[in-house]
Amino acid sequence: MATEVSLPSFHRVVIENVEPEVDGGRFAIKRVVGESVSVEADINADGHQVLDAVLCFRTVGERSWSEAAMRPIGNDRWRGVFQITELKAFVYTVKAWLDPYKTWIRDLAKKADAGQDVSLDFIAGANLAAAAATRAQTSDAQKLLELSAKMKKLARADREAALAVANSEGLAELMTRYPDRSRATTYEKELHLWVDRPKARFSSWYELFPRSCTTDAQKPGTFRDCASRLQYVAETGFDVLYLPPIHPIGRKGRKGKNNSLVVSPGDPGSPWAIGSVEGGHKAIHPALGTLEDFRQLRQKAQALGLEIAMDLAFQCAPDHPYVKEHEQWFAHRPDGSIQYAENPPKKYEDIYPLDFESTEALELCEELKSVVLYWIEQGIRIFRVDNPHTKPFGFWEWLIAEIHRTYPEVIFLAEAFTRPKVMYRLAKLGFTQSYTYFTWKNTKTEIIELFEELTQTPVREFFRMNLWPNTPDILNEYLQKGGRSAFVARLILAASLGANYGIYGPAFELFENRPLVPGSEEYLESEKYQIRVWDLDRPDSLKQLIALVNKIRRGNPALQSDWSLRFHPVDNDQLIAYSKTSEDSSNIILAVVNLDPRSTQSGWIRVPLEDFGIGPQQPFEVHDLLADTRYTWQGSRNYIELNPAKIPAHIFKVR
Task: Catalogue the active-site residues.
Answer: 386, 415
Contact 205, 271 (CB under 8 A): no
Q: Are 380 and 311 in contact (CB under 8 A)?
A: no
Q: How far is CA 633 from CA 225, 580, 600, 614, in A?
A: 50, 18, 22, 11
**What does DSSP say about strands 341-343 and 346-348: parallel, antiparallel, or unpaired?**
antiparallel
Radius of gyration of the CA atoms of the chain, in A: 31
Residues whose CB falls within 8 Å of the CB of residue 320, separated by 6 or more in sequence, listed in order: 250, 274, 275, 276, 280, 352
List of residues 6+ apart from 75 with CB closer than 8 A: none
Q: Which of 207, 224, 322, 332 is nearest to 271 (CA)?
A: 207
Three-state SS at 143: helix
Q: Which of 51, 52, 55, 81 is nearest to 66 (CA)?
A: 55
240-243 and 341-343 beta bridge pairing? unpaired
CA atoms within 13 A on the CB side of 26: 7
Distance CA 20, CA 172 (A): 32
DSSP 278-289: TBSTTS--TTT-
Which strand (E) or helix (H) includes residue 448? helix 444-456
Best CA proximity match to 652, nearest among 604, 586, 591: 591
Helix, strand, coil % in the chain, rounded to nearest 5: 35, 25, 40
